[in-house]
Amino acid sequence: MIDKALNIITDFLNQELKMVYGLSSDVVIASSLVNPDGSVSKNIENKIVVSVINIEQETFSKSLSNYKPTAGNLYGKVAPPINLNLYLLISANYSSSNYLESLKMLSTVITSFQANPYFAKNEHPNMAAPLEKLTLEIYNVPITELSHIWSSIGANYIPSIVYRARIITLQEDRIKKEIPPVTNP
């Protein structure tokens, strides 16, 4: 589910940047900035890099109904949907000689999400189950926390912005067990 959300986001941004700047190749990739061994990730030079920096369950929108009617007079218990918040660090990884280019690309990312903050299945046919809806919003990170993020990544700061992507998923229809309804004695 997370990989599908990142594919939708990177595909959308690549289409936007190609349209705005007439680019012939993709410049947005989903990747970590640094490998686990501390080395810089390959193929991220002169790219907009989308990295997941945190995942949390959305607790506000928990579904209360975990039962669906089945054949006859029974109900089936199903797993509740899991709605997630992904915190995405979107970084413009350009050399210092291309610093203004990095800011231009990052600005276009911001305006693209400002104009298109919602992704729904009916508008994006490549949005496959279990994704139902994806919403992006800027997540303001205080400068001290941002410093901690970059330190924990193990990279030097580059122009970036953090977005919260709210993922709404379909409820799994697979019935775990059937339960008879409660009746009055």
- Residue-level pLDDT at 26: 98
- Residue-level pLDDT at 104: 98
pTM score of the predicted model: 0.84
Q: Which residues pair with 153 in a beta bridge?
A: none
- The secondary structure element, H or E, covering residue 179 is strand 175-179
CB contact at 8 A, 90 and 109: yes
SS3 97: helix
- Residue-level pLDDT at 66: 67
Q: pLDDT means per 10 residues in the chain (185 residues)? A: 92 97 97 93 96 90 62 71 92 96 98 96 79 93 96 95 88 60 65
DSSP string, 117-172: -EEETTT-TT--TTEEEEEEEE----HHHHHHHHHHHTS---SEEEEEEEEEEPPP
- Residue-level pLDDT at 130: 78
CA quadruple 10, 11, 16, 21: dihedral sign: positive
- Residue-level pLDDT at 121: 84
The residues near 160 (Cβ < 8 Å, ≥ 6 apart) are: 89, 90, 91, 92, 106
- Residue-level pLDDT at 172: 58
